[in-house]
A and B are shown apart, each in its own frame.
Chain A
Amino acid sequence: MNRSTDFWILVGTLIAFTVINTLFFAIGSFKINWDSFGIVIAVGLTLAMYSFLYKDNPAFKIAENLYVGVALGYTVIITWYNALKPDIYDPLFVPIFTKATEPEYLVIVPMILGIFMLMRISARLSWLSRWSFAFVVGLGSGLTIPNYIHTFILKQIEPSMRPLFYGGESIYVSVNGILVLVGVVTVLLYFFFSIEHKGPIGVASKIGIYFLMVSFGASFGYTVMGRMSLLIGRMIFLLRDWLGVLH
């Protein structure tokens, strides 16, 4: 396909899109309001994104870049109204100006650390951001150590340490219990690189690889499921909300 063919495909698609939507407005499927106009925009963006499947093209790139800009704008605005405004502006600045309540001066500390963090973009003052990052990273590390040991180490080892027979359960459950224990130990051995994987350790790490492969297969199956679900959702949108052929 040469460039002129691609150009005419693009023009043809745009004309078809315009004609279909004009028709929907003309026959009353779409009312003339912001919501209907929004659906047309949403469909346009959806189709522009899918045009990438034919080949990379200007429509896809415009939609992609527009999305990045809008997502960034949305994040900034939501952070203002949901975080910075109720946590800094309302408790500190509003009382200073209105004198209705006592300002929460303690908020000044994280506010200054937050402003220091922004200094990372300055060449001369970027060292100030280290104070903020030191606070955040230090706090995070301190929280991680005990909570991870409790949640992800002790609590995860516990089920693999259960007795194989409480009495009453089937042999199937016990065999599965042993398999899980073998799997956990061999996978850990596979990731243990301080000793050479030879002899019994080599055999064990090989078993670990088999467990990992089955688990990656399961993850692949679930990933296919997830991506297909996203596609199905978008197709439902196009067929139901736009074309109206699905109810």
Chain B
Amino acid sequence: MPFLRRTVPLAICFVMGIMTAFQYFVPHQLSRDFLELMTRWDKIIAGFAVFIGAYSLFHLHYSRIRFKVAGWGYSIFVFIGAIVTLGFGLYNGGDGFWVDKNEGTMFDWIYIYVQVPAGATIFSILAFFMASAAYRTFRARTVESALLLVAAIIVMLGRVPIGALISEHLPTAADWIMGVPNLAAKRGILLGVSLGAIATSIKIIFGIERQYLGGGD
């Protein structure tokens, strides 16, 4: 069934792409109603994507446990965490998941006292590794790396209150770096990335880029 498996999705993509791209230039109410309906549908479809993520994660950790990969015992905690949270979430303080979410349940408690502290801490660990990297590997070996290093030092000092106490010129210099060379480089990158995104979108609409179809026929 190559027609259903290949031609139909390519046609859907082409029609959706062309219609939404041209909709931008048609301010008529019908055109706007079309955009509203399509974006509303897209928003609803996006809600289902979470289940694919959940399946991938469960599948990965289930495989680890099943094949007794090194450290497989820790994967059990992924299931414990997920099942307990899902359980309390669906239980909804005793009212069930078919009514609106209740506040102040054990589900919220798990979020406040498990997810928030663990999530906030795990990324803060990087602070230590950045300090270590700055000490061990940040060297002015070339003109380019010297420029990077000097800019980093000025910004690091100029952006915190202590910078102004060291020299009143530090915040001004940091502002200049942010507002002139940084702005120019970031704008250059933004223009390049945006042109790339536009080119890729055109390729997708015309069926040249088909990676979203996945493998197979």
Q: Do chains A and B touch in the complex (CB under 8 A)?
A: yes
- In the complex, are the beta carbons of A221 and B152 less than 8 A apart? yes
CB distance from B42 to the nearest CB of A (A): 5
A-B contact count (CB 8 A): 400
Residues of chain B within 8 A (CB-CB) of A210 are 143-144, 147
Residues of chain B within 8 A (CB-CB) of A246 are none
Residues of chain A within 8 A (CB-CB) of B204 are 137-138, 141
B134 within 8 A of A: yes
CB distance from B70 to the nearest CB of A (A): 11
A interface residues, how many (CB within 8 angstroms): 117
B5 within 8 A of A: yes
A49 within 8 A of B: yes
Residues of chain A within 8 A (CB-CB) of B202 are 141, 145
| Residues 1 to 41 of chain B near chain A (Cβ within 8 Å) | 1, 4-6, 8-10, 12-21, 23-25, 37-41
A127 within 8 A of B: yes
- In the complex, are the beta carbons of A137 and B122 less than 8 A apart? no
Residues of chain A within 8 A (CB-CB) of B79 are 69
Q: With A73-B86, A77-B89 in contact, do A42 and B116 touch (Cβ < 8 Å)?
A: yes
A79 within 8 A of B: yes
| Residues 46 to 96 of chain A near chain B (Cβ within 8 Å) | 46, 49-50, 52-53, 58, 61-77, 79-81, 83-85, 87-89
Task: Please list the residues of chain B having a beta carbon within 8 angstroms of any beta carbon in chain A.
Answer: 1, 4-6, 8-10, 12-21, 23-25, 37-55, 57, 71, 74-86, 89-90, 97-98, 100-101, 107, 109-128, 130-131, 134, 143-145, 147-156, 159-160, 176-192, 194-195, 197-198, 200-202, 204-205, 212-214, 216-217
List 10 A-B pairs, minimum CB-CB distance, nearest first: A183-B184, A69-B81, A73-B85, A217-B151, A187-B188, A142-B20, A77-B89, A221-B155, A138-B16, A38-B113
